[in-house]
Structure 1
Amino acid sequence: MVPSIEEGRIVLIANPVSKSGRGAVAASEAARLLRERVGDGRFEMLTTAWAGHGESLARELGPDVGCVIALGGDGLVNEVVNGLMARAPQDRPVLAVIPVGSGNDYAETLGMAYSVPTAVTEILRFQTVRADVGRVNGRYFAETLSFGLDAAIALDTMDRRQKSGRAGTMLYLESAVDQLFHHLQVFSFKMDVLGAEPGCAPHPEWDDAYLVAVQVGPTYGGHFRITPKARLDDGLLDICWATPELSSMRALALLLRARGGKHTGSDHIHFRRASSLVLDFEEEPPAQMDGEPVHGTHFLIDCVPDALTVVVGQR
């Protein structure tokens, strides 16, 4: 059994290359502030050295750790969540996030501040909630799993970010315009909803879609509110898919409306809520999980309720 967040050690896992290297500066600032507030005896900073390193660091945390802080973007959060989920439920420290990434969708869902000093202050308020975690083919996701157009945009954005060092919503929109006008594809999929909420209408066996998103929280792609009613603690995944036929201009207009969650009235946008589902695609689509690539055509997806305790911010 891990100690309480108020009494246990606090470990900061930082990605020093997040946000084009600004993660190192943010990590140094966060470490200084945390040491000042809780003392050297209760604080330790670990830095990731390769892709996936955050997972092993979180999995191997000592039994005296009460809180682990992921400082970076959604990719690092995904690694830390997978590391925590590899531990027994009673041995999972509280998870906190200091957002220093490009999308920061999970931090947005938690209401965390984007200023490092404010985020540290919010973490040390120790206000927590229980949170669900998504699972796909045995791997876990904190916020989002998506296929098709959105995944193509997310993966292209990541590639552009690595090449240019740029970040932010404008980079996502730049990639979105390119995908919508030059690479817009339709994917045939079958969705078998196994644990639908009461009153959920059955879905046809096969359908065509531009994108399918399976969400724990409401946002993806840098705060686009694709499933605005999604909650972290309801034991359900929110599913959204967009169906043809849309021109590139109309698809772009819908995407821009999704920034504020105002796309939900379109006849081309569909929603379901379920605790588990199976997705099959005729051909492998672009796919991403918390910003990281996913491969395959057959996906077993479910919600793990109350899987983690997470720190929430004042927003």
Structure 2
Amino acid sequence: MSFQPQRVRVLVNPRSGPGWSFDRLQRVFARHWDRAGMELTYQFTQSAADGVAKARRAAEQGVEALIVVGGDGTVSTVGAALLGTATALGVVPVGSGNGFARHFEIPLTPARAVAALAQAEPALIDVGVVNERPFLVTCSMAWDAAIVRSFERSPLRGIIPYVFAGAYELLGYVPQPIAAELDSGETLRFDDALIFTIANLTQYGGGAVIAPQARPDDGQLELVVARRQDVPQLVANVARLFNGTIERVPGLVFRRFRSLRVQRAQAAAIQVDGELATAPAEVTVRVLPRALRVLVPAGATAAAG
């Protein structure tokens, strides 16, 4: 292991996910991370804004590795605060989707994740930006964004509640016309898009692989579109969403790009790394190449590009 940071901070979101204990996790950190000469400290996030402030302070103080214990929403906000810094972001996944961790093959069991990160190496990855808000995993602008609204109201987490949220939103969802102008000069028009997702990494979360060819360090993002007429094909081929072969489903649209301008008929909420955000009718998306340093476990380097 060549990466041996001297200053490591663990930033914990105590509201993320059930089934884990900070006391037990602290003992695992002590076993795998706490060595002679290392400064290992712990902090808790009180809110998203507090997490951002603490991440920025960590970078300013020369913390070499900031390990986030949380879900994709916490990972996203903290990661955004570390853009362009020398601080490496590590992730111990305790959320519901954990798309970031799944892409980089970080174990989904918190204790195993801590151990794996102790043998990790830093890598630079791209970051997407939607209307000047960074995202690490995905953002969505159609029914795939509306699902988050119902999912946020559910007291349960996991893939099953997410499926029920999707079914509920599908019943009343009315697609609006979308025009997407890519930096290549191509303009795509859709009257009935149900899925309109931009992916920086392969994963939706929960094991769903929405963009199998997405690479985190190639300087590009991936657009994935499915229309209402594609629903029967999607249902019949739902297994392909989980085995990485969704590109074989007929009718789906895939495009790679560096910048994208989306014009919708009206303003509507979008999904950004699992969080709902307000957005105007016109949305711009671009990539920041190799803008964030992250910790990738040994043996999972293929997942980084």
Structure 2 distance, partners of 1:290, 1:74, is 6
Of residues 173, 180, 184, the one that matches 2:173 is 184
- Contact 1:130-1:308 at 8 Å conserved across structures: yes
- Residue number in structure 2 paired with 1:151: 145
Structure 2 distance, partners of 1:111, 1:274, is 25
Structure 1 distance, partners of 2:106, 2:188, is 39
Amino acid corresponding to residue 174 of structure 1 in structure 2: F
Give the alignment's TM-score, normalised by structure 1.
Answer: 0.86
Which 5+ residue runs of structure 1 have no aligned equivalent?
none
Residues 230-270 of structure 1 deviation map (CA, whole Å, 9 limit, x = unaligned): 011111001101123245x5554455532223332334310
- Residue number in structure 2 paired with 1:217: 201
What is the root-mean-square deviation of aligned Cα atoms in Å?
Answer: 2.2
Within a 5 Å distance, the mapping from 1:65-214 to structure 2 comes to 65-85=63-83, 89=84, 91-160=85-154, 164=155, 166-180=156-170, 182-194=171-183, 196=184, 202-204=186-188, 207-214=191-198
Helix, strand or coil: the match of 2:202?
coil
Change (3 A) 1:298 1:28: farther
- Residue number in structure 2 paired with 1:257: 240
- Residue number in structure 2 paired with 1:52: 49
Structure 1 distance, partners of 2:129, 2:41, is 29
Which 5+ residue runs of structure 2 have no aligned equivalent?
301-305
Structure 2 distance, partners of 1:34, 1:53, is 23
- Contact 2:3-2:121 at 8 Å conserved across structures: no
- Contact 1:8-1:64 at 8 Å conserved across structures: no
Change (3 A) 1:252 1:156: farther
Within a 5 Å distance, the mapping from 1:289-300 to structure 2 comes to 289-296=272-279, 297-300=281-284
Moved more, 40-49 or 63-72: 40-49
- Residue number in structure 2 paired with 1:309: 293
Amino acid corresponding to residue 126 of structure 2 in structure 1: D
- Residue number in structure 2 paired with 1:273: 256
Superposed displacement of residue 310, structure 1: 1.1
Of residues 220, 224, 236, the one that matches 1:240 is 224
Of residues 28, 33, 38, the one that matches 2:34 is 38
- Contact 1:148-1:212 at 8 Å conserved across structures: yes
Structure 2 distance, partners of 1:28, 1:234, is 39
Amino acid corresponding to residue 156 of structure 1 in structure 2: S
Moved more, 66-75 or 109-118: 109-118
Amino acid corresponding to residue 63 of structure 1 in structure 2: Q
Change (3 A) 1:224 1:303: same
Structure 1 distance, partners of 2:268, 2:240, is 24
Moved more, 92-101 or 166-175: 166-175
- Contact 1:109-1:218 at 8 Å conserved across structures: yes
Amino acid corresponding to residue 105 of structure 2 in structure 1: G
Q: What is the number of residues matched between the two proteins? A: 294
Amino acid corresponding to residue 133 of structure 1 in structure 2: V
Give the alignment's TM-score, normalised by structure 2.
Answer: 0.88
Superposed displacement of residue 111, structure 1: 0.9
Residues 268-301 of structure 1 deviation map (CA, whole Å, 9 limit, x = unaligned): 3101000111112112334110011121222111
Superposed displacement of residue 218, structure 1: 0.7
Helix, strand or coil: the match of 2:247?
coil
Helix, strand or coil: the match of 1:187?
coil
Residues 169-210 of structure 1 deviation map (CA, whole Å, 9 limit, x = unaligned): 111112222223x1233221111111x4xxxx8234565411
Change (3 A) 1:187 1:251: farther
- Contact 2:62-2:87 at 8 Å conserved across structures: no
Change (3 A) 1:204 1:101: closer
- Contact 1:244-1:268 at 8 Å conserved across structures: no
